[in-house]
Amino acid sequence: MAPAIPASMDRPHFIGIGGAGMSGIAKILAQRGAQVAGSDAKDSATAQALRSLGATVHLGHAAEHLAADATSVVVSSAIRPDNPELAASRERGIPVVHRSDALASLMDGLRPIAVAGTHGKTTTTSMLAVSLAALGLKPSYAIGGDLDAPGSNAEHGAGEIFVAEADESDRSFHKYAPEVAIVLNVELDHHANYASMDEIYESFETFVGRIRPGGTLVIAADHPGARELTARISGRHDIQVVTYGESEDADVRILKVNPRGLTSEVTVTLTSGKILTFTVSVPGRHYAHNAVAALAAGVALDLPPHNLASALGKYTGVKRRLQLKGEAGGVQVIDSYAHHPTEMAADLEAIRGAAENSRVLVVFQPHLFSRTQELGTEMGQALALADASVVLDIYPAREDPIPGITSTLIIDAARAAGAEVTPESDQAAVPGLIAGMARPGDLVLTMGAGDVTDLGPAILTRLGR
């Protein structure tokens, strides 16, 4: 039986219902029987998937979209105060609920696993969701990306486990009380909300402090920020701390990662001392580490490690995480969500390992003015790992422009690092530009968190001519 729907969530209205985080919560509520409605700026496959579940999805934002009998209005931190539906809710006295509070309410009465970290959250959450489902445990899950089809970012399952991606960007992960928490890494990002690493550490300490007594923290042993966090929470004795990684002092130690084309074979020593080897069906050492974190979290819930390792092998990727979009003219086009320098370097190194002697071409779209201002030089340096790059204008998302901050900051840094870079402000020109650069055997990455992902099909079409 599904957990009871909170009264405020009986007839919710979501502003920006098509977003990755919002749509997942809306989907679960619809599956539990709530009368879900909402609005989004444009139609999408995700909106269609929600409609198929009985949700009402309006296009555009207008006060009249808010039904008179709405019990709450759900918002994310990206919704601006002047949104007409948000203004109407305040005028009518309809409660406004943040996305994180809505998600937290869905976990009540269940056994939550919350996956946190600056990078790798979506992949690790997806690995857990897929493997637990493969074991027949029928988990509920909420992920920041689609597994294999629009709307597959969330599911209401009949089992007792709920796997959730825990977002640190706006401190919303402070709302969750997991039985098991994973911290993959800790770095400075989201510069509009965090001014220093100390603020980041304090935020993650608060998240760890929310782990239920008797629960488990699974945390990276190799990452400097994660090790610092482990030291900072060493005084908490009511939870178990399990470290993982290649470091000699890791509790779950990675002994070997063998690349095998677009897959990897991973060998680990478990806390029991047993050695286990299993396959990760996506390339890259960082994805192997994500899989080991998922394995350690499942073991913390008393799942048999050999069964879980076998189930992890059924994970074949999530949209936008080194997702193969197709091949044309002997050129493969792959989509990458990487937008932070660490992520960019990791994905490029993974593709380098799989590409062997093939050239790697990148179409990169910077994400956020604030991130570019703080990390633009490092982004440019990461692009030096590619054979050639096309750099687009900054995707603003929720931000207003910052005077003087443009893609030129990245381009100059990339060229200083010896990279071959072509600036391009017109996205419509990119398919032709790439077709002129690419030759059979090359790999093309569309990289970034914005709408650069839409270029993949157009590039394939142009290559196919």
Q: What is the mean pLDDT of each run of 10 residues along the chain (465 residues)?
A: 74 94 94 96 91 96 96 92 95 94 94 94 92 94 68 87 92 95 91 87 96 97 96 92 97 92 88 93 87 97 94 77 86 91 88 81 95 94 96 92 96 96 96 94 93 94 91
Which of these is catalytic: 85, 155, 165, 343? 165
pTM for the full predicted model: 0.77
Q: Give the Å distances, CA to CA, from 289 to 32, 182, 185, 257, 367.
A: 34, 12, 11, 9, 25
The set of residues, in sequence order, having a beta carbon less than 8 Å from that of 212 and lying 6+ positions away, is 177, 178, 179
pLDDT at residue number 24: 93
CA distance 463 to 447: 18
**Kind of pairing, strands 154-155 and 140-142?**
antiparallel
Q: With contact defined as beta carbons under 8 Å apart, do 464 and 328 qualify?
A: yes
Residue 147's pLDDT is 61
Indicate the helix (H) or strand (E) that contains 123. helix 121-134
Helix, strand, or coil (residue 3): coil
Is residue 122 part of the annotated active site? The answer reads yes
Dihedral (Cα; 244, 251, 205, 109), 10-degree rounding: 90
Which residue among 122, 123, 263, 279 is the active-site one? 122
Burial profile 131-144: b = 16 or more Cβ within 10 angstroms, e = fewer: bbbbbebebbbbbb
From residue 92, alpha-carbon distances to 68, 266, 394 in Å are 9, 56, 38
- Does 314 participate in catalysis according to the annotation? no
Catalytic-labelled residue, pool 27, 85, 121, 123:
121
Amino acid 148: pLDDT: 53
* Neighbouring residues of 174: CB distance < 8 A, sequence distance ≥ 6: 100, 203, 206, 207, 210
* Whole-number pLDDT of residue 319: 66
Q: Examine the residue annotation and report whether 343 is marked as an active-site residue of this protein.
A: no
